[in-house]
Amino acid sequence: MIIIDKKKGESFQFILKSNNGKTLLESISFSSENELDKTLKDIKALKDSNGKLFERKTNTDGKFLVVLKNSFGQIIGSSGLYSSEAGMENGILNISNSIELGTKQY
């Protein structure tokens, strides 16, 4: 599911959550809801683009995370940390499903 959060100062953020309510990914802040909506449409269109949407990373402690990018290659969100590469890959699958099936909730 896609949760829309209106922040102070009229900025917006989306949060992707699993069916059981676990936060999978948090976006950057957007200056308007229109900008956020355009980004969501962009990532839905990119979802099946052979991995261009996701960048897999490892932090300095050896933990894994996923960075979500838009069609311009800009980072628009990141996941929490995973203790294994397999967990990260499962997270990517869950994030993809949340993007595909997600409906906005406020």
Spell out the domain ranges in the chain. 2-105
What confidence tens digit (pLDDT) does each residue in 12-61 have?
Answer: 999 999 888 899 999 999 999 899 999 998 888 877 665 578 999 999 99
∠ CA 11-15-20, nearest 5°, is 155
Residues 42 and 89 sit within 8 Å (Cβ to Cβ): no
Q: How many helices (H) and strands (E) does the chain have?
A: 2, 7
What is the mean predicted confidence (pLDDT) over 50-74?
A: 90
Which residues face 66 on adjacent strands?
56
Q: What is the CATH number of domain 2-105?
A: 2.30.29.80
**b/e map of 15-27 (b: 16 or more CB within 10 Å)?**
bbbeeeeeebbbb
